Amino acid sequence: MSQRKAYRSAILHSIADPRDVGIEASYAYFEDGLLVVEDGKVLDVGHADTLLGKFSDADLTTYSDTLITAGFIDTHIHYPQLDIIGAYGEQLLEWLETYTFPAERKFEDPEHATRLAQVFLEELLRNGTTTALVFGTVHKQSIDAFFSEAQKLDLRMIAGKVMMDRNAPEYLRDTPESAYADSKELIERWHGKGRLHYAVTPRFAPTSTPEQLALAGQLFQEYPGLYMHTHISENKQEIEWVRGLFPERSGYLDVYDHHGLIGERAVFAHGVHLCDDECQRLGETGSAVAFCPTSNLFLGSGLLNLDKLEECGVRVGLGTDVGAGTSFSQLQSLNEAYKVMQLQGKKLDPFRALYLATLGGARSLYLDDRIGNLQPGKDADFVVLDYNATPLISRRMAQATTLAERLFALMILGDDRAVKETYAAGVCRHRK
Ligand code: GUN
Ligand code: ZN
């Protein structure tokens, strides 16, 4: 028989898009809250005084000076780039040649892939991230290793083998046919198994021939619930390159659109330099953009226009983009996101930030019926954040008088040190 568990703490979660309902109606907060979990799902959430009697049989854990919220969702990250995080000096295209491709070559070895998948998942959990949309390498064994390790931890993860048949070193190239066949084999083996989902993953337009993109588009339509995961309009040189490679297409997004790589469950990383028409098209097709602030600043790519995307109805999630991104922590992504907005004369309200890191990510992935907040019936994926994580955070919290201030201080000053515990499907997978 499964044990019913209850967690008493301050509890905050996003319940709607602040753009639709306003900031105040976008979240629920219980100063003295209770989260009740059974069979890996949320059974109830609310005020402790009303729920404690009803669930007096539950095994109770009581915290102090903590905030429980939904597990963070990372809508764009590369597990094979773990060991090149913080590599000096280059912008996108040189960075790929100098650091990324040699690091990805090592995933030909399944033992290396398994080791890195273990460390990677541990690092996600240390940072409170319970779901991620993940790039592998061109090798199908990279994804077998990743999904095997994610399955052991019963995590909700989405990943795919990179498709790349040109403009990359010979040792990292597949062909249109082998990419299609290998991806299909992985889909049959993993897609829909437990909490795992597959993403068709052409790296970006420059590294795929039109033939490969066409087969990727075909595959994306072949199975229900598949994802499409790629990069777009991150860097100005990259955009010029795409223009030269696909002169017959009207723009970068049109390359993907033409090949059937757009729509619900299509997630495009970056989109820093998208034009108005492209934002419109992403919105009307139900596609999503992963906002990757630490990466966009680190590689000098540019400042995302979040407001424009949201005004066009584009679903936006938050991505770390490790290894171009510089932290696994979505609190740190929000810290940098705030500065990206500041540099454009705009603000990022802390509750809108929370939405981006949780429910907004879930909506981008069409998983908001299962994750993204703590409503009854959802997966019990949650984090316990520590208001006393460091002496400085503790001092800052003592000065804060409102929930908004405390949340903002956590996202500006917090990182993995602020994550006291991480639960996935009701099981504690990280404890500091
Ligand atoms: N564009 C194509 N490949 C990559 C990658 O690995 N990282 C980033 N940030 N952008 C890319
Ligand atoms: Zn990326």
Q: What is the mean pLDDT of residues 238-256?
A: 98
Ligand nearest to the CA of 162: 1
* Model pLDDT for residues 46-80, shown as the tens digit of each residue: 999 999 999 999 999 999 999 999 999 999 999 99
Q: Determine if ligand 1 sits within 6 Å of the CB of residue 324.
A: yes
With cut-offs at 50, 70 and 90, classify the pLDDT of residue 267: very high
Q: 364: CA distance to ligand 2 center in Å?
A: 16
Ligand 1 contact, 196 CB (< 6 A)? no
- Alpha carbons 175 and 9: distance in angstroms, whole number: 53
Question: Which tens digits make up the pLDDT trace of 330-348?
Answer: 999 999 999 999 999 999 9
- Give pLDDT, residue 2: 60
**In ligand 1, which atom is closest to the CA atom of 238?**
1
User: Which residue lies with its CA nearest to atom 5 of ligand 1?
Assistant: 96
Q: Cα(333) to centroid of ligand 1, in Å?
A: 17
- Whether 231 is in the pocket of ligand 1, judged by its Cβ within 6 Å, is yes
For the CA of 103, the nearest ligand: 1
* Strands 41-47, 129-135: pairing kind: unpaired
Residue 183 has pLDDT above 80, yes or no: yes
pLDDT in tens, 372-431: 999 999 999 999 999 999 999 999 999 999 999 999 999 999 999 999 999 999 999 999
99 Cβ contact list (under 8 Å, min separation 6): 84, 87, 90, 323
Mean pLDDT of 293-315: 98
Does residue 104's CB lie within 6 angstroms of at least one atom of ligand 1?
A: no
The domains located in the chain, with CATH, are 5-71+373-431 (2.30.40.10), 72-328 (3.20.20.140)
- How far apart, in whole angstroms, are the C-alpha atoms of residue 309 and residue 316? 8
Tell me what pLDDT residue 405 has: 98
Per-residue exposure over 13-35, b if at least 16 CB sit within 10 Å of its own CB, e if not = bbeebbeeeeeeebbbebeebbb
Counting ligands in written order, the one closest to the CA of 100 is 1
Ligand 1 centroid distance, CA of 324 (Å): 8
Please tell me the predicted confidence (pLDDT) of residue 371: 98
- The residue nearest atom 3 of ligand 1, judged by CA position, is 203
* DSSP letters for 66-118: EEEEEPEEEEEEEGGGGGGTT--S--HHHHIIIIIHHHHHGGGSHHHHHHHHH
- Cβ-Cβ contacts under 8 Å for 265 (sequence gap 6 or more): 225, 226, 227, 228, 365, 366
DSSP 268: E
111-166: pLDDT as tens digits: 999 999 999 999 999 999 999 999 999 999 999 999 999 999 999 999 999 999 99
Centre of ligand 1 to C-alpha 251, Å, is 19
Q: Which of 204, 207, 230, 326 to mutate to test the pocket of ligand 1 (most atoms within 8 A of CB)?
A: 204
Residue 283 pLDDT more than 70?
yes
**Which atom of ligand 1 has the smallest separation from the CA of 135?**
6
User: pLDDT tens for residues 7-44?
Assistant: 999 999 999 999 999 999 999 999 999 999 999 999 99
Contact 376, 45 (CB under 8 A): yes
Tell me, what's the pLDDT at 366?
Answer: 98
For the Cβ of 92 lying below 6 angstroms from any atom of ligand 1, the answer is yes
- Predicted confidence at residue 276, as pLDDT, reads 98
For residue 361, pLDDT beyond 60: yes
User: Nearest bound ligand to CA 238?
Assistant: 1
Residue nearest to atom 11 of ligand 1 (CA): 231
- Let me know the angle formed at the C-alpha of 225 by 220 and 231, rounded to the nearest 5 degrees: 50
pLDDT of residue 152: 98
Closest CA to 315 of 384, 262, 351: 262
Do 247 and 276 touch, CB atoms closer than 8 A?
no
Question: Is the model's pLDDT at 1 over the cut of 70?
Answer: no
CA–CA gap between residue 20 and residue 364 (Å, rounded): 15
| Residue appearing with tokens 């009303």 | 50
Q: How far is the CA of 24 from the centre of ligand 2 (A)?
A: 33
Non-local CB neighbours of 299 within 8 Å, separated by 6+ positions: 90, 91, 92, 95, 234, 235, 324
Q: Is 321 in the pocket of ligand 1 (CB under 6 A)?
A: yes
A 10 A CB-CB count for 307 gives: 12
Question: Does residue 100 have its Cβ closer than 6 Å to ligand 1?
Answer: yes
DSSP, collapsed to helix, strand or coil, labels residue 366 as coil
pLDDT of amino acid 348: 98
Atom of ligand 1 nearest to the CA of 292: 9
Q: Is 430 in the pocket of ligand 1 (CB under 6 A)?
A: no
Please state, in angstroms and rounded to a whole number, the distance separating the CA atoms of residues 380 and 162. Answer: 30
Averaged pLDDT, 299-308? 98
Measure Cα distances from 274 to 79, 252, 257, 323, 361 in Å: 26, 8, 14, 23, 20
